[in-house]
Structure 1
Amino acid sequence: MSEKIRVADGVDGELATPPGDGVVPGLIIVHESFGITDQVRALCDRFAAEGYLALAPDLYHGETATNAEEASRLMQRLSTTEAMQDVAAAMIRLEQDARCNGRIGIVGFCMGGAMAFAAATSIEGLRAAVPFYGIPIPGYFEASKVKCPIQAHFAQRDEWATPARAQKFQSEVQVHGGEMELHVYDAGHAFMRDGDQRTYDAKAAQEAWARALAYLASKLQG
């Protein structure tokens, strides 16, 4: 089970540790606009069960949302610059952990997907970024500055994080010599949100999970 830890001064997070005592890759999990929820904790546990030291930094510093209106308010208040500082702190915390082998990736969902894109261009040392249905934030994602391989997951029936926008980002990254793999699913936005019957799509979620695990293994394991 994940546990609440102090990531750095002023930054807490949820850390899930895999079984055993061997060294493993580190993985930063960036939460959705709702904050650190039980679903985020469950994701940390799932990744830990797959052999990752999984850390979800709390970008909202203790606040969570219980509905879409509150989530939107919290998201609008969030500073991307400060969020990147929290992500960088999470990376340092993983690097300093005796269980971490030094190879670290990042995964993010919705708002967290946008932050994963931002981290791919601003955080040195990341080995892979896997954003889910998140749109890169203007000013925080330059295709020419991508520092790590990206595997992105988008939904066909998403009016916000549209496949067309994802394809545009992919083309820009590839033009500049970067690596960006893109998968689009016959689903709607937030199809990975297990437990939310309005958005969860089991088939798409299972396919995306398998692809993300294979990709992360290819970049972080070994």
Structure 2
Amino acid sequence: MDATHDGQDLQARDLQGLDGLVTPPFSRRGFVMTGLMTGLTLATTRVEAQVIHTDETGIEAGEVRIPVGDGPMPAYRAKPQGKGPFPVVLVVEEIFGVHDYIKDICRRLAKAGYVAVAPELFARQGDVSKMTDVQEIVREVVSKTPDAQVMGDLDASAAWAASEAGGDAGRLGITGWCRGGRTVWLYAAHNANLKAGVAWYGNFGGTRTPIQPRTAADVITEIRAPVLGLYGAADSGIPVADVEKARDAAKAAGRTVEFEIYPDAPHGFHADYRPSYRKPAAEAGWSRMLDWFKAHGVA
């Protein structure tokens, strides 16, 4: 896919605020996934016995459809019972889609008092529910998902949460894991209404392309909301030196950032369904996340 062919239907208003994340002209495509996957991803080793299951007592949870310019986008929503308004947290998936792990995160956030919305951001590019190879997902789906499309879908999800799910538009947060952690940095540079973000082991580097023109490191000096970064010292793909360089660049630019680097924690240390899960770091990071949202006006 190239940026020229991929965007003839996007309206001019959809490009506002996306400077640096899109090379016009830009187009959307039809949805490949019209519903969310059931169960856990097939594309990585799973340890079912340690998976956390959060019930729905006191909350409302389930699959929803969010209107976007080219059709209804599948998403998962969990919220406290009652009318609200409740603070909103956008939940950004890993590369594996909105599977049971991401859905459970939404329910955990709902139990903490938030409207949590996880849009299926890869729904146009491919059906990750059927993919068993990580490299295929990266090559055929992730690398072909334009950053501008992601930013627009997150904006639409935030608007939907406020209008349809009892959310408070003035108390908006975002959190994401792995690829979703990278997205948190981009979104914090994109949306001036964001109150705070929490990025879990999001990569700062990567290949720049016409549809993914800037890395997290490129935008970290431009973030418009406080961001907490949660990283593992044993992450072979994100060296601690890269984390420290990003931290120093953000602080030199006067941005509000904090980082926690957990000793002996590998990439994916929060993913309770994988061998990479490290319960102490995962629980400490979750607590830091909730404190961060509270401290910066999301809660």
How many residue pairs match? The answer is 221
After TM superposition, list the pairs within 5 Å mapping 1:91-130 onto structure 2.
91-97=158-164, 99-102=166-169, 103-130=171-198
Q: Which residue of 2 aligns with 1:72?
A: 138
Quick one: distance in 2 between partners of 1:29 and 1:4? 14
- Which stretch shifts more, 171-180 or 128-137? 128-137
Q: Which residue of 2 aligns with 1:81?
A: 148
Q: Which residue of 1 aligns with 2:66?
A: 7
In the alignment, structure 2 segments of 5+ residues that lack a partner are: 1-55, 209-213
Q: Which residue of 2 aligns with 1:63?
A: 127
Spell out, residue by residue over 1:33-74, the C-alpha distance to the aligned partner (whole angstroms, 9 max, x if none): 001111010000010110000000111117224442343232
Question: SS of the residue aligned with 1:112?
Answer: helix
Question: SS of the residue aligned with 1:148?
Answer: coil
Match of 2:112 among 41, 50, 53: 50
Question: SS of the residue aligned with 1:199?
Answer: coil
The amino acid that maps onto 1:48 is A
Spell out, residue by residue over 1:192-215, the C-alpha distance to the aligned partner (whole angstroms, 9 max, x if none): 00121x211111101101111111
The amino acid that maps onto 1:124 is A
- 8 Å contact 1:29–1:54 — kept in the other structure? yes
Q: Structure 2-normalised TM-score?
A: 0.69
- Which stretch shifts more, 211-220 or 89-98? 89-98
Question: SS of the residue aligned with 1:131?
Answer: strand
Spell out, residue by residue over 1:130-188, the C-alpha distance to the aligned partner (whole angstroms, 9 max, x if none): 00000246625423321000000001011212221111111111111110000001210
In the alignment, structure 1 segments of 5+ residues that lack a partner are: none
Quick one: distance in 1 between partners of 2:62 and 2:133? 24
- 8 Å contact 1:132–1:152 — kept in the other structure? yes
After TM superposition, list the pairs within 5 Å mapping 1:140-155 onto structure 2.
141-155=218-232
Higher strand residue share: 1
Question: SS of the residue aligned with 2:138?
Answer: helix
Q: Which residue of 1 aligns with 2:240?
A: 163
- The two structures, once aligned, show a CA RMSD in angstroms of 1.8
Question: SS of the residue aligned with 2:174?
Answer: strand
Spell out, residue by residue over 1:99-130, the C-alpha distance to the aligned partner (whole angstroms, 9 max, x if none): 22221000010000000110010122000010
1:25 aligns with 2:105: no
